[in-house]
Amino acid sequence: MPSHVSKILSQLYDKMFAHFGPQGWWPAETPFEVILGAILTQNTNWGNVEKAITNLKKSGVLNPQALAKIPEAKLALLIRPAGYFNVKAKRVKNFLHFLASEYEGSVEKLCAEEKGVLREKLLGVKGIGPETADSILLYAAKKPVFVIDQYTYRVLTRHFLIEEEADYEGMQDFMMRHLKEEVSHFNEYHAQFVMVGKHFCRKSPRCDECPLKGVNW
């Protein structure tokens, strides 16, 4: 028996999906690329991340082994278009050290780790916070985890589905409590939140044109 909130969330999803169509996240060719993208896109436009990824690919270092060998300063120059390149170079290096020491440098082994254990271990890496960890869990390791971001917060608060004071864990609990635990659905739902957030629910919202306008509950 679906709860009232579950029905609302289902309506929201249907409206967004009808407007934007399937997003097919994450836009990457390999799980390792997903992980790098998750770190590089922190507070950064995805287009800039793509430039950085392209640089890594052209330099032939878009794999854990090659990337671990190049100096941090060199890495920073390659990812320069993604912004915050010095901090992000360190964060990528932190992750690579973690991958080497905990999973013998194997992304496949990392992805085979149990969900809760992996989440805690990822959060132990300096530079990987809740959103980055959950993006890795969902989009690289295919674990059923709902990713929360600023757009999620804006949509949920502006539609009075959660309180303004809600934190990351609170929003994640809310979503996961009311949705069927399914990787493909968590994947697409989060992507739809980002799309509606980008186009209609910014700091200067276009609520009158938003596909979520007129959802009745």
Partner DNA sequence: CACCAGGCAAGTA
Partner DNA sequence: TACTTGCATGGT
Binding residue (CB under 7 A) for DNA from 12, 31, 35, 130: 130
Q: Is position 184 an interface residue for DNA (rule: CB under 7 A)?
A: no
Find the DSSP H helices in the chain.
4-20, 31-40, 46-58, 64-69, 72-78, 85-103, 107-112, 115-123, 130-135, 150-158, 168-178, 183-200
Our finding on whether 192 is near DNA (CB under 7 A) is: no
Closer residue to DNA (CB): 80 or 115:
80
Give the per-residue SS3 of 66-122: HHHHCCHHHHHHHCHHHCCHHHHHHHHHHHHHHHHHHHCCCHHHHHHCCHHHHHHHH
Q: Which 63-102 residues touch DNA, going by CB under 7 A? A: 80-81, 83-88
Residue 27 makes contact with DNA by CB under 7 A: yes
Could you tell me the smallest distance in angstroms from the CB atom of residue 133 to DNA?
6
Residue 11 or 19: which CB sits closer to DNA?
19
Between residues 77 and 215, which has the closer beta carbon with respect to DNA? Answer: 77
- Which one of residues 69, 74, 109, 126 is an interface residue with DNA (CB under 7 A)? 126
Backbone angles phi and psi of 194, in degrees to 5: -65, -40
Neighbours of 117 (CB within 10 A): 9
Q: Please, which of residues 162-181 interact with DNA by CB under 7 A?
A: none
Q: How far is the CB of 87 from DNA (least distance, A)?
A: 4
Task: Tally Cβ neighbours within 10 Å of residue 30.
Answer: 12
Question: Chain-centre distance of CA 191, in angstroms?
Answer: 9
Residues that bind DNA (CB under 7 A): 25-27, 37-38, 41-48, 51, 80-81, 83-88, 125-133, 135, 139, 149-151, 194, 197-198, 202-204
